[in-house]
């Protein structure tokens, strides 16, 4: 059925299927966790994923560097792959150990959940070398398929197991997360080794290669990765640390749907990342016209989506978690709606800068937004409660959004 579909369309299809499975899983699991385990458990669920996102900073940028060099230097494929395996597997063990320590010392009531999650963390890094190799062979859609496969298995397994078992806990959810990822890792290994020869070599691994992989090709993306992950995850971690798991759970209820809408909006402008540097070399005026056209379309769509959430948000939350679990916080639909508009627009401007010299500048702007979030969580929590980080982000955007746009125009003007 998929034979006549282009590889690009297959990639988009499996990427959105993976994202859809992830969203559906969250929408089903959240109310189940609240009903059977309470807000504190929901907060722990969110904190573990937020910690995973921060752990990902350590290697996420390197994966792009590895893939870039695998494509560029095919004769060094075995050596680059060896570096990737050593680095990712070692870092995966380190990440897993962090979660075990977190469960033992910080959340002893959820220790086994942390152990199962640590297995997932290790496996998620263990399969990265295979993903890099497939992408370097221009088989991106197959990587997207395996991601969808893993997310789909987790969705079916976690929801089914949670509903079936009598003694419900987060343990069963994270156990299914670990199992589903182990299955995907084994499938990915079998698939790749059946299609391609996998050989590890150490002879040509030089200091120059290591420097190129870890420093010259990775430093800018590392800086941006840190700012992006912290911008998206600092809220839950800080709320949990300062005000407890229940507060983090309330925040997840408030922010889950707006955040999902933002992630969907981001996907619209991300393909523009690669278009800008290529088109700037050919037709500067043409790329500016394309930018302004896309900017208007994205702005209109984001306003439409945000307006819909402003008026329908309460009804959606009522259906999702039940009216008894909806927080009663003033402006909890209007403020996120405004952030939806500004965040979707911000992503367009980031996309213009992503593969250019402007990347570090937009990363600095993101760190400013992180600072606003932290200030509002610490000093304005009494005024805005769990809405504080979102209000802080809105306040930051009122300052930074013009800088994002002006920076993009500088890039487009050459």
pLDDT 10s digits, 44-98: 998 998 888 878 876 666 776 787 778 777 778 889 899 999 999 999 999 999 9
- Whether 57 maps to a domain, the answer reads yes
Domain closes at, from 217, 237, 271: 217
Beta-carbon contacts of 114 under 8 Å, excluding residues fewer than 6 positions away, are 48, 99, 100, 102, 103, 104, 107
* Percent over 70 (pLDDT), the chain: 93
CA distance 302 to 124: 33
- Whether 122 maps to a domain, the answer reads yes
- Whether 281 maps to a domain, the answer reads yes
| Backbone φ and ψ of 335, nearest 5° | -60, -50
- Whether 314 maps to a domain, the answer reads yes
Same domain assignment for residues 191 and 258: no
Q: Give the chain's mean pLDDT.
A: 88
Contact yes or no for 93/122 (Cβ under 8 A): yes
Same domain assignment for residues 297 and 196: no
Task: Please report the pLDDT score of residue 217 as a whole number.
Answer: 67
Same domain assignment for residues 303 and 161: no
Domains in the chain, number: 2
| Long-range residue pairs from 66-73, CB within 8 A, at least 24 positions apart, any chain | 66/129, 66/132, 66/213, 67/132, 67/135, 67/136, 68/217, 69/212, 69/213, 69/217, 70/132, 70/133, 70/135, 70/136, 71/136
Same domain assignment for residues 97 and 204: yes
Confidence band (pLDDT; 50, 70, 90) for 8?
A: low
Same domain assignment for residues 211 and 257: no
Task: Please report the pLDDT score of residue 260 as a whole number.
Answer: 85
Q: Which residue has the higher pLDDT, 267 or 132?
A: 132
Q: Which of 119-128, 163-172, 320-329, 365-374 has the lowest mean pLDDT?
A: 320-329
CA distance 195 to 81: 16
Same domain assignment for residues 159 and 274: no
Same domain assignment for residues 183 and 329: no
Max mean pLDDT range (128-142, 204-218, 241-255, 275-289): 241-255
Contact yes or no for 41/33 (Cβ under 8 A): yes
Can you give the residue range of the structural domain that contains 333? 245-412
Same domain assignment for residues 64 and 166: yes
Q: Is the pTM of this model over 0.75?
A: no
Same domain assignment for residues 128 and 250: no
Contact yes or no for 410/358 (Cβ under 8 A): yes
Same domain assignment for residues 306 and 169: no
Same domain assignment for residues 187 and 269: no
H or E element in which residue 303 lies: helix 284-321
CA distance 334 to 390: 11
Task: Please report the pLDDT score of residue 115 as a whole number.
Answer: 97
- Whether 233 maps to a domain, the answer reads no
Tell me the mean pLDDT in the region 301-311. 95
Tens digit of pLDDT for each residue in 132-173?
Answer: 888 788 787 888 899 999 999 999 999 999 999 999 999 999
- Whether 236 maps to a domain, the answer reads no
Domain closes at, from 202, 217, 232: 217
């Amino acid at each position: 059925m998929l034979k006549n579909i282009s590889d690009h369309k297959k990639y988009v299809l499996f990427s959105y299927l993976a994202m859809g499975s992830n969203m559906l899983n969250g929408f089903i699991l959240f109310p189940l966790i609240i009903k059977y385990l309470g807000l504190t458990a929901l907060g722990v669920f969110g904190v573990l994923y937020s910690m995973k996102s921060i752990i990902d900073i350590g290697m996420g940028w390197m994966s792009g560097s590895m893939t870039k060099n695998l494509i560029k230097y095919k004769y060094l494929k075995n050596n680059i792959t060896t570096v990737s395996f050593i680095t990712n597997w070692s870092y995966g063990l380190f990440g897993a150990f962090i979660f075990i320590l977190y469960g033992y010392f910080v959340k002893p009531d959820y220790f086994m959940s942390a152990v199962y999650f640590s297995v997932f963390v290790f496996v998620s890094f263990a399969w990265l070398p295979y993903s890099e190799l497939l992408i370097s062979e221009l088989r991106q859609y197959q990587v997207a398929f395996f991601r969808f496969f893993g997310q789909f298995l987790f969705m079916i397994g976690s929801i089914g197991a949670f509903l079936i078992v009598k003694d419900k806990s987060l343990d069963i959810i994270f156990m299914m997360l670990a199992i589903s990822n182990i299955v995907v890792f084994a499938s990915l290994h079998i698939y790749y080794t059946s299609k391609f020869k996998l050989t590890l070599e150490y002879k040509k691994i030089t200091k120059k290669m290591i420097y190129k992989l870890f420093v010259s090709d990775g430093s800018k993306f590392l800086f941006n990765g840190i700012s992006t992950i912290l911008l998206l995850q600092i809220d839950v971690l800080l709320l949990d640390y300062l005000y407890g798991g229940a507060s983090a759970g309330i925040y997840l209820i408030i922010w889950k749907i707006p955040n999902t809408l933002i992630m969907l909006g981001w996907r619209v402008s991300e393909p523009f990342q690669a278009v800008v540097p290529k088109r700037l070399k050919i037709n500067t005026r043409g790329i500016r016209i394309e930018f302004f056209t896309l900017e208007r379309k994205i702005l209109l769509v984001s306003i439409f989506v945000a307006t819909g959430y402003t008026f329908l948000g309460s009804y959606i939350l009522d259906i999702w978690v039940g009216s008894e679990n909806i927080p009663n916080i003033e402006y909890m639909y209007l403020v996120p709606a405004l952030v939806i508009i500004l965040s979707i627009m911000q992503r367009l401007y980031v996309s213009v800068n992503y593969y250019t010299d402007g990347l570090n500048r937009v990363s600095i702007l993101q760190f400013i937004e992180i600072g606003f979030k932290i200030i509002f969580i610490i000093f304005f929590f009494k005024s805005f409660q769990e809405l504080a980080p979102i209000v802080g982000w809105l306040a930051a955007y009122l300052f930074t959004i013009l800088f994002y746009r002006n920076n993009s125009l500088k890039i487009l003007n050459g």
